[in-house]
Amino acid sequence: MDTIFLTDLRVKAIVGIFEWERRVPQTVSIDLEIAADIKRAAEHDRIEDALDYKAVSQRVVEFTKSSEFYLIETLAEGIAAILTGEFAAQWVRVVVHKPGAIRAARDVGVAIERGQR
């Protein structure tokens, strides 16, 4: 199986457990890996045969901007559900980074894998 990836998709979102986090959108960074069979698209060189990763990124940005989760774990699950449901991905890896969440760390995040590879 082939993999399409998007790295460092930055979105401002309400995410966090503290009162100030519920008021102030923070930048999260999202990495996606999506299992897809790209052989037909590569053979025919036709966008119609490819996974539309622009549509994927737009949908993930739209979902993330409109969400108000307490946990990045919940955000990651929602993104995975969109990819496996709306885009029929057989397998996905979703990484959500929340830089600055821990002062002493450059980055904090979660990585989940859903579906069958």
> Which residues are the active-site residues?
98
Place of tokens 């959108």: 25
In 3-state terms the chain splits into helix, strand, coil percentages (rounded to 5) of 35, 35, 30
Q: Which of 35-55 are b and which e, b meaning 16 or more Cβ less than 10 Å from the residue's Cβ?
A: bbeeeebeeeeeeeeebeeee
Residue 6, SS3 per DSSP: strand
Residue 1, SS3 per DSSP: coil
* The pair of three-digit structure tokens given for residue 83, joined into one six-digit string: 């990819």
